[in-house]
Structure 1
Amino acid sequence: MPATSTSEVESEAELAARFERNAMQYHAVLLRGARRLTHSEADAEDLLQDTLMNAYAGFRRFEPGTNMRAWLFRIMHNRWVSLHRTKQRRPDVFTVEDITDSDLAASSVHLSAVHRSAEDEALDILSDKVIREALNDLPEVFRLTVYYADMQGLTYAQTAALLGVPMGTVMSRVARSRERLRVSLATLGETRRGEQRVA
């Protein structure tokens, strides 16, 4: 008779308890990652819920000893890509009678605040706006790679798995991003110093 694995004898209650214990500790960091991907608090919460539901559905297949955080971020990234593609294929639907001029005016005032990413909000805390400008000047693929590898502290292998690219690509992007940041920060720093001398 073949040996019975623990996942075959594990009850739903035991599975839920194990999921709560092992996966839910990453709730806060996953929410920050979801905000970064979606640029919207409501969409980030939806993406996080979808990620956790998919993670729970596949939790019996998760290999103990592998990196739970990277696994969860990979699921999130895949769900985000899938949901983003679905949204692009389906136009937004709303009834015109329900929207008034005051609704449009109110939403335009709050639009910029709603679509700010978690990365942008974190960088706002920094006192040095030069760093923020330099990061914003990076192309999106470099900015995402630097965000996961340097700001979130994921390893190159975890970042590669999350973004679905080879580890060498992540290493190259990080190195090139850091070099671009060095050049950009030096240039922006000189410009700012020159502006301060004139003022």
Structure 2
Amino acid sequence: MAKFDPNRPAKTSSKKEAISREEHLKQHEFQKEAVIHINSLYNYALHLTMNPDDAEDLVQETYLKAYRFFNSFERGTNCKAWQFKILKNNYINSFRKNSKEPGKVDYDLIKDFYHSIKDTRTDTSEADTDYFHSLLHEEVYLALQSLPEEFREVIQLCDIEGFTYEEIANMVESPIGTVRSRLYRGRKLLRAQLESYAKKYGYNTDQEK
């Protein structure tokens, strides 16, 4: 029969310490890799829900799920894209079927939102790039929100968040060709919406006509 050794550390204590260390490392890595994208996630959530309160709830739910499954995240891949995918799935599964009427828009968000616009893809003209970078007014926000969701979403992901076509295709679960088509049509619709406004402020919208 085994003898009791009072100096021998309890296995449960060692196990708890190991779990605590692992959890601490996980929290540190999650903060470094995932939490830094919170503003982009909120912007995306706001475009999907069109409601600030719903957007905050959607981001919170996304981070809870992302942390829970963070061990399954493939290191070295795009953590931002991984989180956007989780957010989109959460939106489809929960928020879309319980969607509310759009709330009042907080226009203080608009300037910061459009400062996040990155260079567009190589098949977008320089004039288009300047066009999206220069219009930082509420008319742009309203025009973008007025687009059908499938067009609004790809413009958000490509022209504002800077994701590749392949990453966007994975997020929206559509072929790359469909993404390109939606992006092209969405940009055309957006430019049409903003044409009178752009001309008022001296922007040239005739390059593609």
Structure 2-normalised TM-score? 0.62
Answer yes or no: is 1:146 the counterpart of 2:155.
yes
Say how many residue pairs are matched. Answer: 161
Larger helix percent: 1
Structure 1-normalised TM-score? 0.65
Distance 2:53 2:145 in 1: 24
Cα displacement string for residues 133-170 of structure 1 (whole angstroms, at most 9, x for unaligned residues): 75455432112211211122221112212222122111
> Kindly tell me: are residues 13 and 171 of structure 1, through their superposed partners in 2, closer, same or farther at Cα, counting changes over 3 Å?
same
Aligned residues with identical type, % of pairs: 33
Answer yes or no: is 1:176 the counterpart of 2:185.
yes
What RMSD over aligned residues (CA atoms) do the two structures have, in Å? 3.6
Q: What is aligned with 1:161? A: 170
Q: What is aligned with 1:16? A: 27
- Give 3-state SS (helix, strand or coil) of 2:182's partner: helix
How far is 1:181 from its partner?
4.2
Which protein is bigger by CA-based radius of gyration? 2
Q: What is aligned with 1:126? A: 136
How far is 1:175 from its partner?
2.0
> Kindly tell me: are residues 115 and 38 of structure 1, through their superposed partners in 2, closer, same or farther at Cα, counting changes over 3 Å?
farther
Q: 2:54 aligns with which of 40, 43, 53?
A: 43
Distance 1:150 1:176 in 2: 13
Aligned pairs for 1:54-133 within 5 A: 54-84=65-95, 87=98, 112-113=103-104, 122=113, 126-127=136-137, 129=139
Distance 1:146 1:17 in 2: 32
Cα displacement string for residues 153-197 of structure 1 (whole angstroms, at most 9, x for unaligned residues): 2211122122221221111111222344455555x469969xxxx
> Kindly tell me: are residues 82 and 190 of structure 1, through their superposed partners in 2, closer, same or farther at Cα, counting changes over 3 Å?
closer
| Residue ranges of structure 2 left out of the alignment (5+ in a row) | 1-18, 115-134, 202-209
Are the aligned partners of 2:157 and 2:163 in contact in 1 as well (CA < 8 Å)?
Answer: yes
- Give 3-state SS (helix, strand or coil) of 2:156's partner: helix
